[in-house]
Amino acid sequence: MRYFIEIAYNGKNYHGWQVQPDAISVQEVLDRTLSTLLRKEIKIAGAGRTDSGVHAKQMFAHFDYDAIENFTRFLFRLNSFLPKDISVQDIFEVQEDAHTRFDASRREYEYVISLQKNPFSEEIAYLIHQKPNVSLMNEAAKSLLDYKDFQCFSRSNTDVKTYNCSINKAYWKEENNQLIFTISADRFLRNMVRAIVGTLLNVGFEKTSLQDFHEIIKSKDRTNAGASAPAHGLFLTKIEYPNSILK
């Protein structure tokens, strides 16, 4: 039987989602914990990967196992084994060929910027000391929906077949001394959101004009875009799937 689990984690103490040879990752902790609990080697497959220090309010992974009879008890025991910065929110059975990565239809991220020093958000928001022009940033963000190729925002030497992404939402809002950027697309390239945020901040600080922003995208050259915003302000917030994956 195949199961999807819904996960949330604070990425501060982890070198990203994916298992690595010499660094601790969220996937490694979940593999080890599930294997201990189920007394069988479990290797989960995630919906994607997050970079070192990036957080997730909603991530999904799948694994195969004979039968889990009591989901409520399983979740309680699993969360008892897991460290405090990782939690499993839900578990449900899916079709045998369902895949958390390939069946995902849309993903959404938020990037949080703090406009005021706050000891309670230091590790989950990027502090800046001058407020940028949010109207300019929103105008530039809206134009992202007019493009498909985002190679200029992709990490160099990334092994992908295409740099095309379909962005359907990209906007900034201000609330409680924070700027929050929300972006949704069918897929994202590695480092894409942080590179977009860094470039939009350049627009907001009027280092990059709106026309320059368009030219950066058209150039398909990462060196023309802004520096990546720090990882600790980024959250994976939502992953959507078609109902057809459910059993």
- Domain boundary, last residue among 102, 119, 136: 102
Q: What is the pLDDT of residue 210?
A: 97
Catalytic residue among 22, 31, 51, 186: 51
pTM over 0.75: yes
Q: What is the pLDDT of residue 156?
A: 79
Residue 247 lies in a domain: no
Count of beta carbons in the 10 Å neighbourhood of residue 135: 10
Give the tens place of pLDDT for each residue, 114-132.
Answer: 999 999 999 999 999 999 9
Is 90 an active-site residue? no
Q: How many angstroms separate the Cα of 151 from the Cα of each of 92, 181, 204, 207? A: 36, 20, 22, 21
- Domain boundary, last residue among 32, 67, 102: 102
H/E stretch holding 63 reads strand 55-64
- Do 44 and 57 form a contact (C-beta atoms < 8 A)? no
Residue 43 lies in a domain: yes
Residue 210 exposure: Cα atoms within 13 Å on the Cβ side: 12
- Do 204 and 133 form a contact (C-beta atoms < 8 A)? yes
- Looking up residue 25, the CATH number of its domain turns out to be 3.30.70.580
Same domain, 125 and 228: yes
3-class SS shares of the chain: helix, strand, coil, % to 5 = 30, 25, 45
Q: What is the pLDDT of residue 185?
A: 98
Count of structural domains within the chain: 2
Give the tens place of pLDDT for each residue, 195-224.
Answer: 999 999 999 999 999 999 999 999 999 999
Beta strands in 147-218 (DSSP E): 167-175, 178-185
Q: What is the pLDDT of residue 5?
A: 98
Confidence label for 145 from pLDDT (cuts 50, 70 and 90): very high
Same domain, 113 and 49: no
CA–CA separation, 230 vs 234, rounded Å? 8
Q: What is the pLDDT of residue 160?
A: 87
Same domain, 16 and 78: yes
Same domain, 65 and 131: no
Q: Which residues contact 102 (CB under 8 A, 6 or more apart)?
A: none
Give the tens place of pLDDT for each residue, 46-91.
Answer: 999 999 999 999 999 999 999 998 999 999 999 999 999 999 999 9
- Domain boundary, last residue among 102, 137, 165: 102
Q: Residue 188: which domain range? A: 106-238
Same domain, 86 and 116: no
User: Which bin fits 8, alpha (ψ -120 to 50), beta or left (φ > 0)?
Assistant: beta
Same domain, 89 and 118: no
Given a cut of 80, whether residue 19 has pLDDT beyond it is yes
Same domain, 186 and 76: no
Same domain, 120 and 73: no
Phi–psi pair at 7, nearest 5 degrees: -125, 150
CA–CA separation, 13 vs 16, rounded Å? 9
Residue 53 lies in a domain: yes
Same domain, 84 and 134: no
- Looking up residue 184, the CATH number of its domain turns out to be 3.30.70.660
Residue 162 lies in a domain: yes
Same domain, 145 and 231: yes
Residue 195 lies in a domain: yes
C-alpha Rg value of the chain to the nearest Å: 19
Confidence label for 37 from pLDDT (cuts 50, 70 and 90): very high
Secondary structure in 3-state letters for 89-123: EEEEEECCCCCCCCCCCEEEEEEEEECCCCCCCCC
Same domain, 185 and 203: yes
Q: What is the pLDDT of residue 158?
A: 75
Residue 34 lies in a domain: yes
Give the tens place of pLDDT for each residue, 87-98.
Answer: 999 999 999 999
Give the tens place of pLDDT for each residue, 148-201.
Answer: 999 999 987 777 889 999 999 999 999 999 999 999 999 999 999 999 999 999
Same domain, 190 and 73: no
Rounded average pLDDT over 18-37: 95
Q: Mind giving me the DSSP string for 129-180?
A: SS---HHHHHHHHHHGGG--B-GGGSPTT---S--B--EEEEEEEEETTEEE
Tokens representing 4 are: 């999807």
